[in-house]
Copies of this chain bind each other. A is one copy, B any other.
Amino acid sequence: MATKRLEAFADGVFAIAATLLIIDVTADAHGGALGAELRHAWPQYAAYGVSFVTIGIMWVNHHTCLELIERADRRFLFINVALLACIAFVPFPTRLIAEHLRDDGLRAAAVTYGLTMTATAICFAAFWFYAATGRRLIAEAADQRLVSGISRSYLPGAPIYGTSTLVALVSPTASVILFAAIALFYVLESSLFAREAPSGFEPL
């Protein structure tokens, strides 16, 4: 079957997961204290922004993969359900980090975030390699160099996030910096990747 309805369900989950975090952005001060409260609550806004962008990157990557995939079978749909369950979970540990950035809970928050991202990376790899192995679900017209390029770029995800999770056990602060660096790298890499795509093939 075509991937059209998978995209509709996925887009819905991505949109909701990205947007839901705004529910947690609050400022309960009364009267003149509101300004101070808003300045103090900056980690909340940062968590909203980071979470939205993280899910946005995943949406772009999911999108890029599905551009090359032309069929879906039931097992592929179930892998997608698992992947989307991980992605929709991301706002929770992101919020935990924001709330505990300045107290002793940062270690537990960073480990939770790391485990979530590691699970997400594993599901993302399962999603892609299930479709790409032997070109099982890949469109005939898709350039094999592009398929191989995505395969290469998906291999390091889980080990990188797994290692960062171990770092969180030793130094929560270091791991948070690492998580931010990884997210930034993915944004930049996406732009570079777009520029270096083999000529004659639309990279997205």
Binding site for B on A (CB under 8 A): 1, 5, 7-9, 11-20, 22-23, 25, 27, 29-35, 37-38, 48-49, 52-53, 56-57, 59-60, 63-64, 66-67, 72-75, 77-78, 81-82, 84-85, 88-89, 91-92, 96, 100, 103-105, 107-109, 111-112, 187, 190-191, 193-194, 202-204
Contact = CB atoms under 8 A, between A and B. Distances in A.
A99 B202 CA distance: 49
Contacts of A25: 89, 92
A105 B29 CA distance: 8
Contact of A78 (B9, B27, B29, B56): B56
Which 9 pairs across A and B sit closest by C-beta, in order of nearness? A12-B15, A56-B81, A34-B105, A35-B108, A32-B104, A52-B85, A31-B104, A74-B194, A34-B108
Contacts of A190: 74, 78
28 contacts: A1-B67, A1-B202, A5-B11, A7-B8, A9-B11, A11-B12, A12-B12, A18-B85, A22-B91, A25-B89, A25-B92, A32-B104, A33-B105, A35-B105, A35-B108, A35-B111, A37-B108, A38-B108, A48-B85, A49-B85, A52-B81, A52-B88, A56-B84, A56-B85, A57-B78, A73-B204, A75-B194, A78-B190
B22 A73 contact: no
B20 A19 contact: yes
